[in-house]
Structure 1
Amino acid sequence: MINAKFTGNRKINIEAKGFNIPVDLAKTEGGDGSAPNPFILLMAALLSCSAYHVLLLVERLGMNKEAFHVELEPGLDDNGDMQKALIKVFVPADFPKEREAAMKASVMGCKVGRHLKAERTVEIIRG
């Protein structure tokens, strides 16, 4: 079970499996801007899920995980809704070219992404 508790102004504390996740709205939306808003958390969930899939593959390949990083470039429409999500996986220059398809497939396996309507694209960027 996940619970939401109102903690003042427009702040909410989400309690999930023993973790507390603060949520707030921006000052322009009447909040205090003290924590991420729900949309930021959604994008962070997509990015962290994608990054974990990269991490798991990198570990299986026995590579140095510090040589990799992942970014999310959301494609927002005029209403600020995410229509596309470009997930950029930055790999070291010596990352095997034949492993790129496996990396993309691994990222596309992210459960969070599978629950979104936004079109997802994975791009491998060599360092």
Structure 2
Amino acid sequence: MIEVVCAIVEQHGRVLLTQRSEQMRESMLWEFPGGKLEAGETEHQGLVREIKEELGIDVQPYHRLDPVQHPYPNHTIVLIPYLSHYNGGVISLLEHRAYRWATPDELADFNWCPADVLIVEAYLELVKNRG
């Protein structure tokens, strides 16, 4: 079981999405950015580190959503999503092909990585319940 954290970075009513590059597994699909936890890291530490390494920005995780298990042919991941505040920095695409700030209404228009689909649904439910 591989633990992976991802950030649902919110700003001005939109969330940050990243598109996987041609060199990555699940190339060209969209995801909430994040990555694998390293030994001894808390989920918060790993998420802040991964976002800084991959996008060059600072985030502050503030609310954990329910993790999602997703099987792949050779392994299973547990994807742990966090609502996160954008704390600054300029986005640099160090690993991804593209990024986009999208409104909740636009999220259904993206071709998502399979592991992220249930997280998108949970996020949309949360937004709806916020009113």
TM-score by length of 2: 0.22
TM-score by length of 1: 0.22
Which protein shows a greater Rg?
A: 1
**Higher relative contact order, chain-length normalized (CA < 8 Å, sep 6+):** 2
